Amino acid sequence: MAQAVGLRMLAIWPSGLFLFKRWHCMSDFFPQLIQQLFNGLSLGAIYALIAIGYTMVYGIIGMINFAHGDIYMIGAYIGLVTLSAVGTQSGLPVWAIIGLMLVVAVFVTGVYGLVVEQVAYKPVRQSPRLVALISAIGMSIFLQNWVALGQGARDMAVPSLLPGAINFSMGGGFEVFIPYTRILIIVVTVVLMVLLTLYIKHSRMGRASRACAQDMHMANLLGIDTNKVISFTFVLGAVLAAVGGVLIALAVGKLNPFIGFLAGIKAFTAAVLGGIGSIPGAMLGGVILGVAETFAAAYISSEYKDIVAFGLLVTILMFRPTGLLGKPEVEKV
């Protein structure tokens, strides 16, 4: 009798142990999934802020501003310089310091965006697109070395202004940590997206931008100052990129003059993924790319995150060449 009971216990124990391990792995999987999803959303928000600049410029003049990633980098540096000038021990509240960083970065980087348009794009606007592309790449290299000579090519540390995090207990001893800097990124991005949408839909300049995107020549004939609209588009894109640069610098804690190149390529990928020329597409593409990259780094390997991100782009473009929300370009005659 005892021997039969022992045999039954041996038969039940391995399966019970397997079920326990499986339940333990699943209970560990969901908190990590939520953690990585939040990290991916914050990263995707930064990509979306940069990608909007790409998609707006392309939607109006049909060109790609490959210096846009370096504008994002300059915005991060302007925020750091402002923080160094004010000082963390100035007595100002944290929200005032961050607000000052954003305001100064937005103003200075907007000027950079205007200069890029006037120097690198306006003189070659009627030239073949390859000429404008080479001009943009040259401007990108110039801005990288401009900052490297002025601030040094080494990594620079950014003081942490929001060091804390919100903890959510998932049961079983598992917790999800949501840093305040990541929350700030998502909240600021959502607010800016809503304001941008309202501005494009209801403001005079927004309506002029949509008219130029529809037909530049007709808009010019109707009395719209197309040169002003194009300059405004570059400035607006630079402003959004500057906000992303300041926020990611606070979240990551370091920067160098070369962070703009890879971020610009990723944001351009997000714009193409969502549909180049579509502002909602740039937002959607940024979020998808950020989540895919974060999940790849967490569940596969950080060495494969770029492969997964660009592989996703290739896969989607194979089935939908215009991107997720893009529309086929109609030749105007």
- Rounded Cα distance between 119 and 128, Å, is 16
34 in Cβ contact with 176 (< 8 Å) = yes
The helix or strand, by DSSP H or E, that contains position 136, with its residue range, turns out to be: helix 129-151
Low-confidence ranges of the chain (pLDDT < 70): 1-29, 170-173, 327-333
> In this structure, which amino acid lies at residue 332?
K
Give, for 172, the enclosing helix (H) or strand (E). Answer: none
Give me the phi and psi of 159, to 5 degrees please. -60, 145
* pLDDT score, position 108: 94
Joined tokens for residue 309: 């991100």
Count other C-beta atoms under 10 Å from residue 57's C-beta: 26
Listed in order, strand segments (DSSP E) in the chain are 156-157, 165-171, 174-179, 254-255
Give the pLDDT of residue 175: 75
**Of 262, 250, 274, the residue nearest 51 (C-alpha):** 274
Please give the Cα distance from 285 to 53 (Å, whole number): 13
CA 294 to chain centre: 13
Q: Identity (one letter) of the amino acid at 40?
A: G
Question: Residue 149 contacts by C-beta under 8 Å, 6 or more apart in sequence?
Answer: none
- Going by C-alpha positions, the residue among 235, 216, 214, 234 that lies closest to residue 224 is 216
Residue with tokens 């002003």: 228
Least Cα distance to 43 among 316, 312, 309, 314 occurs for 309
Residue type for position 246 = V
CB contact set of 115 (below 8 Å; sequence gap of 6+): none
Domain limits, the chain: 37-165+175-260
pLDDT at 107: 94
In terms of Cβ atoms closer than 10 Å to its own Cβ (0-12, 13-18, 19+), residue 281 is: buried
In this prediction, residue 333 carries a pLDDT of 47
Q: Is the dihedral of CA 145, 147, 151, 155 positive or negative?
A: negative
pLDDT of residue 329: 59
pLDDT given at position 273: 87
pLDDT for residue 170: 66
- Give residue-wise pLDDT tens across range 25-82: 455 667 778 888 888 898 899 999 898 888 888 888 777 888 889 999 999 999 999 9
Cβ partners under 8 Å of residue 282, min gap 6? 48, 51, 52, 54, 55, 270, 271, 274
Q: Could you give the angle at which helices 2-61 and 204-214 cross, rounded to 10 degrees?
A: 90
